[in-house]
Structure 1
Amino acid sequence: MTKKLIVALHGVGSNARDMMSALQPLTSQADVVALDGPEPFHANALGRQWFSVAGITEANRPGRVKAAVPQLLEMLDRVAQDRGVRRDDFVLIGFSQGAIMTLAAIAGGHFHGHAVAIAGRLAAEVASQGQPANLLLVHDRDDPVMPPTLSVEAGAALSRAGHQVHGARTAGVGHGIGETTTSIINRWLAGAKLENAV
């Protein structure tokens, strides 16, 4: 059986290497490719970001996300071309700011495959479109950075638009990717039914 291909998007200030390390438990059933965000992170020489968080507000976040989506799609298409697959054939996994970008790609109708958003929020308009994505939202109950209600809101909005949304909560992970997180994702990738607990 051919392994799934995961394309992973890290959080702000992190990088592809760190994301690869965090998702190592998924490599038993998938090939994992992690991408570096296109912009340097101002507070960390080794960190990258998908869009600038300097002076970020609730009002200007959607505009920054929208401006970042085309470059993300170009990066995804390069991976798809290199691997000889379609963009929608791989599993898109994003954490934190990477999850924001994952949800934006789905909301805009740019990605229709399987996706996982870990500790994310929806900061993009949701387009009505006929081809749904299959989305897993994972959020820790005690996340001090992204309240879990943000995943609830994202799931509700995307579900109304016709996407297949599944949810799971972790405990004790905080704002990060823990063993429980990857265990849930592995079960979901293997086809296990998860309780909608986000």
Structure 2
Amino acid sequence: MTPIDGPRLAPLEDRPARQLVILLHGFGADGEDLIGLADHWRRLLPDALFVAPDGPQPCVLGGFGRQWFPLTDFSDGERLAGARSAAPVLDAFIDRELEKAGLPDSALALVGFSQGCMMALHVGLRRKLAPAAILGYSGALAGGDLLPDEMTCKPPVLLVHGDADGVVPVAALRRAVASLSAVQVPVQWHVEEGLPHGIGPEGLALGGEFLCRHLLDARD
């Protein structure tokens, strides 16, 4: 299993990291695509280390992008099989980053966009110890019906989606919320009006507030 890595942004003023925020990009992108989120949130979380690993595979569509797993028919079965196949490399990356920073899982937040959201939910709900928070944008929950048997922790989750998303329809958010609520995962959600497949200003603000609430609570 080849280790993954990607761009990172250290805490402000070179302070020791007290939180770790891992940013997981979407299909056909890479870590550079999401590390910019750190600029929006690092004033709120000055002690956080932000890391945006590149997915483990070259994108099947070519170009310079990466993927967590292939997507060809976008079926539920394909998403579940793909998330399972990529989970070990992401789990190993999380373990390594926590160890390097000397931080517990309670100081970890997973943030994902699109396919990265699928990975954040899949891995975050199956960690031995719960992360402080999972924040997902424009994504989906793979294998929601399997959560009663496979889920090992119940971290707080915030899902944000645009109602004009033509890539991952907003119905995916509603299905995810229903599945998470059914197994008592504390889940919040927000639909941003007129937003296509992307991260909008409302989602950025809500995400920053959500991360602060759960990461700073964990710190204190």
Aligned residue number for residue 116 of structure 1: 135
Aligned residue number for residue 5 of structure 1: 20
Aligned-partner Cα distance in 1 for 2:187–2:129: 14
Structure 1 unaligned spans of 5+: 193-198
Secondary structure of the structure 1 residue equivalent to 2:180:
helix
Aligned residue number for residue 6 of structure 2: none
Aligned residue number for residue 34 of structure 2: 19
**Alignment size in residue pairs:** 192
Secondary structure of the structure 2 residue equivalent to 1:35:
coil
Indicate which of 141, 165, 172 corresponds to 1:150: 172
Letter in 2 for 1:16: G
TM-superposed deviation, 1:182: 0.8
Indicate which of 109, 116, 120 corresponds to 1:91: 109
Aligned-partner Cα distance in 2 for 1:111–1:123: 20
Q: TM-score, normalised by structure 2?
A: 0.78
TM-superposed deviation, 1:11: 0.2
Structure-to-structure mapping, 1:44-59, within 5 angstroms:
44-59=62-77
TM-superposed deviation, 1:88: 4.1
Checking the alignment, whether the CA contact within 8 Å between 2:130 and 2:153 is kept in structure 1 is: yes
Secondary structure of the structure 1 residue equivalent to 2:89:
helix
Answer 1 or 2: which has greater helix percent. 2
Aligned-partner Cα distance in 1 for 2:25–2:102: 23
Aligned residue number for residue 209 of structure 2: 187
Structure 1 residues 174, 22: closer, same or farther in 2, change over 3 A?
Answer: farther
Structure 1 residues 133, 81: closer, same or farther in 2, change over 3 A?
Answer: same
Q: Which stretch shifts more, 105-114 or 153-162? A: 105-114
Q: TM-score, normalised by structure 1?
A: 0.86
Letter in 2 for 1:144: G
TM-superposed deviation, 1:25: 0.7
TM-superposed deviation, 1:67: 1.5
Aligned residue number for residue 95 of structure 2: 77
Secondary structure of the structure 2 residue equivalent to 1:60:
helix
Secondary structure of the structure 1 residue equivalent to 2:40:
helix
